[in-house]
Amino acid sequence: MSSSPKFISIIKPSAFRSLQKAATTSPHRTIPIDATWFMPNNPRNAYDEFKQDKTLGPEVGAKFFDVDKWARDSPYPHMLPTQSIMNEAFQELGIHSSDNLVVYDRVGNFSSPRVAFTLKLAGHGKVYLLDNYPNYLKFDFPAESQTVSKSGSDKETSDLSNVPGEVNEVNSPHSYEEIYDREVIEYEEIVTLLENNDISKYLILDARSHDRFTGASPEPRPGLSSGHIPTAKNLPFTKVLNPEANNEYKTKEEIESILTQDLGVDLTKLDATYPGGIIVMCGTGVTACILKLALENIVKVDVPVKLYDGSWTEWAMRAPDKYIIKDV
């Protein structure tokens, strides 16, 4: 079984800089996308920090993608948006189908993989994940103002007939539903796998902390039980990031070692052991995307990797008690 197409390219600061410089002479714009999002208990305000950023903020044409604003209506937090919601986002942000989108967040790698995945899910052609913003700042590159004006009202955006490509709606040979079904798994599907004893065909990786996974610590959302889905393995997203390098992704060899040594996964027999593929999840579907990109783009696993979008928040609110496992 072959893996899903690699949606997103992970690029280092030097490659991003090359895209920025190329945009000075190319008809294709390079637009930085600030995807910063903080947990509800964090006092920082992502949008306020974006507006004040002199390096990758509005002054160089960067755009801010609000994870909570552009989300599907749901009792669960920031569920993946529909195509129509993303069309509204593209229109409001002035993003064109020909643009190079470089997604980043201020933490390093936290919410940006989720937003990069969302943009790609909605059919945008060229989406890059910057690995990562803190490392980019260390280079102290001079600001490039050729991307997009901070007001979005210059000749590039005021007269769309003069811009290569129209404001983006969908730029994919496949429908949104087809891509969604390939890349995302929903609650009902996992319950069916459990009821039919087919869950062993999938490797479930949960990106939350060890204590939340085992049930030793509470969830950050009041009243929500901690624990995990039956058969799931715990792979905290922090394990695939290098804290000594501002949380950039670890190397292929390092991540493979974690999978084989810590989790006992035989990467040479993934297809045989887990013919259904891999399911990644976390608290609300954000940091699970860190694992998704690590598996697809760095390890390059040979099985599909699906995101459980509702993740533990939905599971703990909906699943029967018998499907909430605690190790304490």
Predicted pLDDT of residue 174:
63
Band the pLDDT of 27: cuts 50, 70, 90: confident
User: Can you give the pTM of this predicted structure?
Assistant: 0.90
Tokens 């040594």 found at: 261
Measured in degrees and rounded to the nearest 5, phi and psi for residue 11 equal: -125, 150
Q: Which residues contact 179 (CB under 8 A, 6 or more apart)?
A: 121, 123, 172
Is 317 a residue whose pLDDT tops 80? yes
Task: Give the start-to-end residue ranges of the domains of the chain.
Answer: 9-175, 186-323
User: Using one digit for the tens of pLDDT, what is the confidence trace for 124-162?
Assistant: 989 999 999 999 999 988 776 544 433 333 333 322 222
Amino acid 140 reads: D
- How confident is the model over 107-111, as a mean pLDDT? 96
Tokens 């204590």 found at: 211
CA distance 278 to 294: 12
Find the catalytic residue in 23, 184, 232, 282.
Answer: 282
- Using DSSP, state whether 91 is helix, strand or coil: helix
- How confident is the model over 310-323, as a mean pLDDT? 97
Predicted pLDDT of residue 41:
82
Pairing of strands 9-11, 30-34: unpaired
The answer to whether the 9-175 and 186-323 domains have the same CATH topology is yes
User: Using one digit for the tens of pLDDT, what is the confidence trace for 256-288?
Assistant: 999 999 999 999 999 999 999 999 999 999 999
Q: Which CATH class is domain 9-175?
A: alpha beta
- How confident is the model over 94-122, as a mean pLDDT? 96
- Confirm whether 282 is a catalytic residue: yes
Predicted pLDDT of residue 24:
84
Question: Quick one: CA torsion of 290, 295, 299, 303, rounded to 10 degrees?
Answer: -170
**Is residue 290 a contact partner of residue 109, using CB atoms and an 8 Å limit?**
yes
User: Using one digit for the tens of pLDDT, what is the confidence trace for 192-226?
Assistant: 999 999 999 999 999 999 999 999 999 988 889 99
- How confident is the model over 231-239, as a mean pLDDT? 98
- CATH no. of 186-323: 3.40.250.10
Predicted pLDDT of residue 151:
36
User: To the nearest whole percent, how much of the chain has pLDDT over 90?
Assistant: 78
Least confident window among 56-60, 78-82, 250-254:
56-60
* Arithmetic mean of pLDDT over the chain: 89
CA distance 278 to 30: 32
Predicted pLDDT of residue 6:
56
User: To the nearest whole percent, how much of the chain has pLDDT over 70?
Assistant: 88
Is 7 a residue whose pLDDT tops 80? no
Question: What's the half-sphere exposure (Cβ side, CA atoms, 13 Å) at 316?
Answer: 24
